[in-house]
């Protein structure tokens, strides 16, 4: 039974827990986003929205709850896009030559890195959910215990698939790059449109046409749709907009993420097949 990817996973997790500052900051950072950005924005948005009448019987959620889903997605995006950096370090100063000269199939490198990135994202997503509830986000409000369990599983399924896709992308970029600065530049460049052309912080209805199209096919939007469905519910009002998700909407979003992840895997597989490190 080949255990190549578990070896890569094991080694990456050693690094994750060993660098204490990195560990703490990566766990603290999403909580801080939620605490500062979330509370600041929600206090002003909720005041603005207070005057707008709401149809009776509707489930209205505050901005903190609305953007909490966006923060989970954002954290996953950042963590995953930078997740491949270990490959670059290994290539320049570390173990990559040893790994490439070993009999292990190169796909195991991609999967190992993917798996450790997904683990990190799971931990972060759970921290945000717990911390969000602590500071007053109405996550899982009105859910039965079974619904909550289904919700958490659903969120992790979405986060996992999305993280895997961006980790594959990150790995593909990292193995093709020469310097950490290059990777940082490319990922920063990618983060901006992916994050802001999505429904993470605001509804996308008022977007100009081209941005709207971009946001519909944006994996980030697909992820956030999934998270909101599982953490808030299929029918709610936020920022004065009525959100309704059917089960097939959610299924389509997940399928979209799967297609994205599969494409990114092919990209990574191709880059690793070509990789020459001497």
Nearer to other proteins, 1 or 146 (CB): 1
Residue of 42, 90, 155, 172 interacting with other proteins (CB under 8 A): 90
Residue of 13, 35, 95, 148 interacting with other proteins (CB under 8 A): 95
Residue of 31, 61, 71, 99 interacting with other proteins (CB under 8 A): 99
Cα distances (angstroms) measured from residue 147 to each of 144, 154, 200, 260: 5, 10, 23, 28
Nearer to other proteins, 15 or 212 (CB): 15
Nearer to other proteins, 72 or 96 (CB): 96
Nearest to 262 by CA among 160, 117, 165: 165
Taking CB under 8 A as the rule, does residue 180 contact other proteins? Answer: no
**In 10 A of CB 2, how many CB atoms?**
10
Taking CB under 8 A as the rule, does residue 107 contact other proteins? Answer: no
Cα distances (angstroms) measured from residue 272 to each of 86, 104, 177, 251, 266: 14, 13, 12, 31, 10
Taking CB under 8 A as the rule, does residue 272 contact other proteins? Answer: no
Q: 241 forms bridges with which residues in the sheet?
A: 238
Structure tokens given for 226:
């999934």
Counting every residue, how long is the chain?
278
Q: Are 230 and 151 in contact (CB under 8 A)?
A: yes
Nearer to other proteins, 16 or 37 (CB): 16
Taking CB under 8 A as the rule, does residue 273 contact other proteins? Answer: no
Stretch of 88-96, 124-132, 146-154, 174-182 contacting other proteins, by CB under 8 A:
88-96
Which residues of the chain form beta strands (DSSP E)? Answer: 235-238, 241-244
State the minimum distance, in angstroms, from the CB of residue 86 to other proteins.
9
Structure tokens given for 60:
């209205």
State the minimum distance, in angstroms, from the CB of residue 3 to other proteins.
7
Nearer to other proteins, 101 or 149 (CB): 101
State the minimum distance, in angstroms, from the CB of residue 277 to other proteins.
7
Residue of 51, 57, 103, 142 interacting with other proteins (CB under 8 A): 103
Residue of 10, 36, 217, 270 interacting with other proteins (CB under 8 A): 10
For the chain, what percentages of helix, strand and coil (3-state, to nearest 5) are there?
75, 5, 25
**In 10 A of CB 89, how many CB atoms?**
15
Helices marked H in 19-105: 20-32, 39-49, 63-82, 85-93, 96-100
Residue of 11, 59, 241, 242 interacting with other proteins (CB under 8 A): 11
Site string for other proteins, 138-177 (x = CB under 8 A): ----------------------------------------
Nearer to other proteins, 91 or 228 (CB): 91
Dihedral Cα 110, 116, 121, 122, nearest 10 deg: 120
User: Under the rule (CB under 8 A), what is the footprint of other proteins?
Assistant: 2-4, 6-7, 10-11, 14-15, 18-19, 90, 93-104, 276-278
């Amino acid at each position: 039974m080949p255990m190549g990817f578990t070896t890569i996973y094991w080694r990456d997790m050693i690094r994750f827990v060993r660098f204490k500052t990195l560990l703490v900051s990566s766990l603290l950072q999403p909580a801080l986003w939620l605490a500062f950005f979330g509370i600041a924005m929600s206090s002003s948005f909720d005041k603005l929205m207070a005057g707008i009448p709401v149809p009776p019987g509707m489930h209205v959620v505050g901005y903190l709850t609305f953007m909490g889903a966006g923060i989970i997605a954002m954290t996953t995006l950042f963590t995953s896009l930078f997740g491949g950096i270990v490959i670059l370090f290994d290539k320049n100063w570390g173990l990559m030559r040893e790994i490439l000269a070993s009999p292990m199939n190169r796909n195991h490198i991609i999967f190992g890195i993917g798996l450790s990135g997904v683990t990190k994202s799971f931990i972060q997503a759970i921290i945000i959910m717990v911390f969000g509830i602590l500071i007053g986000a109405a996550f899982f409000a009105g859910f039965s215990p079974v619904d909550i369990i289904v919700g958490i599983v659903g969120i992790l399924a979405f986060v996992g698939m999305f993280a895997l896709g961006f980790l594959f992308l990150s790995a593909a970029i990292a193995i093709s790059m020469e310097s950490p600065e290059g990777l940082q530049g490319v990922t920063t460049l990618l983060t901006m449109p992916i994050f802001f052309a999505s429904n993470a912080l605001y509804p996308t209805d008022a977007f100009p046409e081209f941005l709207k199209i971009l946001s519909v096919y944006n994996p980030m939007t697909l992820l956030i749709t999934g998270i909101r469905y599982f953490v808030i519910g299929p029918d709610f009002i936020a920022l004065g907009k009525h959100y309704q998700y059917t089960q097939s909407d959610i299924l389509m979003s997940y399928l979209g993420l799967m297609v994205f992840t599969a494409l990114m895997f092919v990209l990574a597989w191709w880059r690793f097949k070509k990789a020459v490190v001497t």
